[in-house]
Amino acid sequence: MTTHRLGDLARQAGARLIGDADCGITGLSVLQEAKSGSISFLSNSKYRKYLKTTKASAVILEQKFLDECPTNALVSDNPYLVFAKIAQLIAPLPEKKAGRHVSAIVASSACIDVSASIGPGVVIEDDAVIGAGVDIGAGCVIGKGCQIGDDSRLVTNVTLCHGVTIGSRVLIHPGAIIGSDGFGLANDNGVWIKVPQLGSVCVGDDVEIGANTTIDRGAINDTLIGDGVKLDNQIQIAHNVEIGAHTAIAACVGVAGSTRIGKQCTLAGGVGVVGHLEIADNVHFSAQTLVTRSFTEPGYFSGNLPAVPNSVWRKSIARIRQLEDIAQRVRHLEKQSQQMIDDKLDQDI
């Protein structure tokens, strides 16, 4: 177990230290479960109740909570960011040894940097290019002509279909499939005819792709994932979608084909986006929002009804179905009222 000096952690994470710089930190913990030697954080006021009784050796928090902290503190306007930086320092990923496992199947025409790590059961097809420091975990399949940039990591059972390009420092979690065919079909008198998907997928630098997420290859041009994009688990990105730099998308989102999403957007869990839309930079959708039109200005948008008791929902639906009839009656009453006003004016004249 490695012990880290609190003063060093504060300096490297960019936080202001209040307390003992020589305090030893050996691990990370939540406030209510922390023990001596651990560091915790407070970024959500819901957990403020645990601050005064925490046993942590240090807590990362905002200035406004400092008076309530019973132990050493690292003060920051963004405690969660500081916690993330310290977590990387305290619990780095285990180093992988360069080389390939004896069970890996690697085409003779593949170009693999000597510093790359190729795990058990990996398949690397013809003309693939694997950069320096790349870590390819057990069971991954790298298709023909794929390129993987330096220091990227494919955890396990990741599939890159032919011709996919992955940038540097990309992290892809288990079960992700990049470059499968898009859902391209033409209808011939009720019979579906497959449209060949001739494009590929291009993933930028510093991207993270969650477990069992799928990104389809383009029909003609490539599907594009910008630098710094973060994709959660079980997301579907359809063919020819473009996602701008540093956009973050939560689990179970579906984005239909040829939609363009701007930079620094956020899509919360379960958002559905129909195809051929334009989403501007800095647009944010709350959970379960159904996006059926383009959004050309930044902002925070919602478009669904929250859950209510079933009896209330049934009444609401019944009223919704009556809206057209009510609207027609209102229009009729407006016409009657206007006619009465006009008749009155004629009489006065």
Instruction: State the catalytic residues.
Output: 239
- The CA distance from 51 to 61, in Å, is 10
- 187 by DSSP, 3-state: which? strand
- The CA distance from 197 to 78, in Å, is 44
**DSSP assigned state of 32:** G
- The CA distance from 272 to 291, in Å, is 6
Sign (positive/negative) of CA torsion 103, 104, 108, 114? Answer: negative
Contact by Cβ (8 Å): 223, 166: no
Q: Are strands 117-118 and 99-100 parallel, antiparallel or unpaired?
A: parallel
Conformational region of residue 161, where left means phi above 0, alpha means psi within -120 to 50, and beta covers everything else: beta
CB atoms inside a 10 Å sphere around CB 1: 5
Tokens 């001596």, residue? 36
Backbone angles phi, psi at 90, to 5 degrees: -80, -35
Sign (positive/negative) of CA torsion 95, 99, 103, 109? Answer: positive
- Which is nearest to 58 in space by CA: 12, 81, 90, 27? 27
Helix segments in the chain, DSSP class H: 6-13, 79-90, 310-348
220's CB contacts (< 8 A; 6+ apart) are 198, 199, 240
